[in-house]
Amino acid sequence: MPFSVVRPGMFTLVQDLGRWGHQSRGLTVSGPMDQFSLRIGNVMLGNDENDAALEVTLFGLEITFHDERCVVLAGAGLAMNIDGVSAAPWTVHHAAPGSRLAITGPPSQPGGGCRAYLCVSGGIDVPVVMGSRSTFTRGRIGGYKGRALAAGDFVEMLDPKPLWRRSAGFVCPPELKPSRTWGEPLLTLEGPQIDAFTPDGTRTFFGESYVLTNEIDRMGYRLDGPKIEHKAGADIVSDGTVHGAVQVPGEGRPIVLMSDCQTTGGYTKIAVVSTWSVASLAQKMPGDAVRFRRVCEKEATGYLIKFEDDLRRLIGLRATYRSR
């Protein structure tokens, strides 16, 4: 059974963990801007971690369920209600047939983030394209007809797993949520062309603060701040790019590549923001400040290892909760 879209919100997309293995053909991975929140939301419901959900930006989404489901909103602490009753994030709620769910506003406290993942028991059922249900809007590939949701859409859901109703009321323990301090620097590794920058340019990048401009989207975040000095120009022979790569064009201001980034590029890459910190960056909005902290591979992967350990603990807690 589907749910119907009453109001689509600012930019609501169907996303799973991405379309991997096709970069050599020029197709981006896509997937969630904050993969960690999506995975936690699915685990809380007993879904597979890769099940598709709705990536919601800030506010405005309103949907009506046509059968009963359990739902959870993971990620930014957006204000949500079900049939007018406030429904806290990071908590599994029951939605009866005919229930109307609305996301009505951004977090009341600064630093609460701007993107959340509305996960439903069973996951969202849209066609699998090249191994993924993720939406890539620039290519009109995947998701719901290759685009953001619109008013009047009917979105199908897959059948939930047995005993799914027992998830209702489950709350993610605070210590198992992604632990992020709003002002902490982004964990950043040296990039493949760091030698293309002067020592002053490198010190500037790792030592100064930058601000998100209005030119941010799922492809990349353009930042403003002190100019980063090249030794001899910004252009290189195009080579492969990765999620989190920091390109510095000729004007000397960095661009951080995000989930829908291109697969190749011809600008020097001074650094690569860690997978963990890219998700933190994705929760920021224009005007927010960021800093970059140089780390080694071991420190960067340590955050990912801790997350995987915490996720395994969460799976165990939910299994115990189900068997009450």
Mean pLDDT, rounded, for 294-314: 97
Distance in angstroms (rounded) separating the CA atoms of residues 153 and 5: 5
Residue 240: its pLDDT value, please?
93
Structure tokens at 13: 């997309």
> Across the chain, what does the average pLDDT equal?
95
Return the CATH fold of 186-301: Cyclophilin (2.40.100)
CB 230 within 8 A of CB 196: yes
Residue 156 has pLDDT above 90, yes or no: yes
Residue 323: its pLDDT value, please?
52
The sign of the torsion formed by the CA atoms of 88, 92, 93, 98 equals: positive
Residue 183: its pLDDT value, please?
84
pLDDT band at 182 (very low <50, low <70, confident <90, very high): confident
Residue 112 has pLDDT above 90, yes or no: no
Distance in angstroms (rounded) separating the CA atoms of residues 1 and 3: 7
pLDDT band at 180 (very low <50, low <70, confident <90, very high): confident
pLDDT in tens, 14-54: 999 999 999 999 999 999 999 999 999 999 999 999 999 99
Distance in angstroms (rounded) separating the CA atoms of residues 317 and 324: 11
| % of residues, the chain, pLDDT over 90 | 92
Query: What are the boundaries of each domain within the chain?
Result: 2-172, 186-301
pLDDT band at 322 (very low <50, low <70, confident <90, very high): low
Mean pLDDT, rounded, for 142-153: 98
CB 24 within 8 A of CB 66: no
Beta bridge partners of 129: 132
Residue 254 has pLDDT above 90, yes or no: yes
Element at 302 (helix H, strand E): helix 297-322
Residue type at position 301: T
pLDDT in tens, 60-109: 999 999 999 999 999 999 999 999 999 999 999 999 999 999 999 888 67
pLDDT in tens, 210-253: 999 999 999 999 999 999 999 998 999 999 999 999 999 999 99
Mean pLDDT, rounded, for 163-189: 92
Exposure string of 25-58, with b = 16+ CB inside 10 Å and e = fewer, is eebbbbbbbbbbbbbbbbbbbbbbebbbbbbbbb
